[in-house]
Amino acid sequence: MDSSARSGAGGTGGYSSTRVWIVAGVAVAGVIVFVEAARRSRRWLRYRSDGPPDSGAFCDRFELAPAPQPPPPAARQLLSGLTFAASDNFEIEGYVAGFGNPDWKRTHKAATRTAIAVTMLRKHGGTYVGSTVMDELGFGFVFCIFSWL
């Protein structure tokens, strides 16, 4: 028996044809999955509006940027890159907290300070994206809500 037959250096190079077909099939399937994911991503971006959908959860939608990051030797802010929203009863400097009541919002002045909870979240890197809808004056459905009628 010659050395080429013992080393498996036949016409297939030591690989069985089934292994080659399995690898080729997995590669083709991977390409198909990748192309389909890219196509869906492009379709989603095409129909996307300027911002993410709010689904009726916001009464005021605006963005307040977080405090600047510290210089490189210091640790990164804990909440950097994250967004949050607060209920309509938190005061934000320059905006009127409506407490879920449009009459309250219309008859009161803008806040001169930002609530401590919102300030702390922004200080640690969170981005404030807006005020969310709440029950009128925080009472829930205990009382009749006349501003909705």
* Structure confidence by residue, pLDDT tens digits, 62-111: 778 787 777 776 777 888 888 899 988 899 999 998 888 888 889 999 99
Residues 13-18, mean pLDDT to the nearest whole number? 70
pLDDT at 54 over 60: no
Task: Name the helix (H) or strand (E) containing 36.
Answer: helix 17-47
Task: Specify burial of residue 128 (Cβ count, 10 A radius: 0-12, 13-18, 19+).
Answer: buried
Contacts of 85 (CB under 8 A, 6+ apart): 57, 58, 128, 129, 130, 131, 132
Q: Smallest Cα–Cα separation from 67: which of 116, 120, 114, 112?
A: 120
| pLDDT classification of 45: cutoffs 50, 70, 90 | low
Instruction: Give the residues across from 111 on adjacent strands.
Output: 93
* Structural tokens at position 30: 């991977």
pLDDT at 112 over 90: yes
